[in-house]
Amino acid sequence: MFMDPKALLSLCNILSTDSVADFGSGSGFMAKAAAALAPQGTVFAVEVHRELLAHLTREVADAHIKNIHPLWGDIEVPGGSKLADGSINFAIVSNVLFSLDDKAGALTEVRRVLKDGGRLLVVDWSESFGGMGPRPEMVVPKSVAIALGERLGFSVLTDTMPAGAHHYAILFKK
């Protein structure tokens, strides 16, 4: 069983007017779920792969989703998201951590754009199985993700959120 993005995000207390950033948004499944929870807010879908960004841009336009703003950015670079300091209420890093060369750099970029008291949801693979997900050596264990977040100034609100059979979810606070 895989995670249900809307069900998971509904546990995160996203307000209808929140500004949200989905770092490494890919196809936008988390951004779309966040947009439904924050209809008067703004959701920035930050993605480095231009083909994915172009597809998401077309999909958002075709569906007339007005509060999602696809944005090209490299989240591993300081300032690479192109978002302003302290401008975001809620950030999402989903199915991305395992693939990053500079995990600390990406979470530092998230911290930069989050408002004081802002929250970060990290979702990643808990294992590699049957050809799905990352190679076993690429999996970032939940304990490592927690330690990294805490080292970078985040505190854990909960690490027991339902993220499906092959993922974990950690909700942090800045």
Taking only the tens place, the pLDDT of each residue in 93-145 is 999 999 999 999 999 999 999 999 999 999 999 887 767 788 888 889 999 99
Taking only the tens place, the pLDDT of each residue in 64-80 is 999 999 999 999 999 99
Taking only the tens place, the pLDDT of each residue in 27-59 is 999 999 999 999 999 999 999 999 999 999 999
Alpha carbon 11 to chain centroid, angstroms: 15
pTM confidence score: 0.95
Q: How many residues make up the chain in this entry?
A: 174
Distances (CA, A) of 62 to 1, 30, 55, 58: 29, 18, 11, 6
* pLDDT (average), residues 2-30: 94
Residue 78: per-residue pLDDT: 95
